[in-house]
Structure 1
Amino acid sequence: MSRENTTRSLDSIDLAALRDPAGIFELVEVVGNGTYGQVYKGRHVKTGQLAAIKVMEVTEEEEEEIKLEINMLKSYSHHRNIATYYGAFIKKGPAGQDHQLWLVMEYCGAGSVTDLVKKTKGNCLKEDWIAYICREVLRVRSSTQRKSFFLPL
């Protein structure tokens, strides 16, 4: 995706126009903490299907980065090594408080590579695991580079 197309698509995202997640998704439990907020195990209310829900406070300073993340998820979540993107929702806060953005993605019960490393309790990952992880990261990178977009590692 060219820089010009990225900028144009960022402008087309209206965070305020997103639907409220109430009655669609519910939070079950916290499963991690990210740079911009917490990640929850969530559930689709009607089907019971599990989802990962990243809950972030929406501030003006971070709005462009949030829009970029949404575009990345929309563009690349079709790859087998990237969690599938289900949608974005806005939970409006009381007057004077920031709204919460809910990014809803496929729930990966085994956790992240970081979780895997933490479970080793100070030991190293085995070489075959490291090789597997590196190969899968490179597969994502090579398939996204064909679209003239570079993903940082």
Structure 2
Amino acid sequence: MTNEELIEKFESENITLATLQKRGLAYMIDEILISVLFALIYFDQIPDNMTTEEMIDAINGLFGYVVVLKVTYQTYFVWMYGATLGKIAMKIKVISTDDLEKPSFLFSLSRAAFRIVSESIFYLGFVWAALNPKRETWHDRVANTLVVNAH
């Protein structure tokens, strides 16, 4: 769908892009939920008598698990519901630019995986959203998605 066709479709169906503020708050909610879930899963693997340096090393050793948890969380919720719990709370959702429906499993997975890349490169993929009219992040561009207000 071209930009002109997309704008026309948005206008005819009364679809509006989510603000960066809503997206930011949804992101924070999701990160808090993932952090709590991670802490509950791996809490018993960090002994009480560790020094700060040992604790940092132990947490760094679990980094791969954090990535898997984040990708799984993002993929599942975007694929099944078109939104993560944070997005649901903020009343926004992810749609495919192809058909304006929730993304397929593969697009949800690629979006979630590329989101990690965006985070890893100083969050530049998120900053990108502030610099373009469709408020697309890098992971939105890769997956052909946009984040819009849910009605």
Q: Do the structures match in fold with TM over 0.5?
A: no
Structure number with the higher strand fraction is 1
Larger RCO: 1 or 2 (CA < 8 Å, sep 6+): 2
TM-score range, shorter chain: under 0.3
Structure number with the higher helix fraction is 2
User: TM-score, length-normalised on structure 1?
Assistant: 0.25
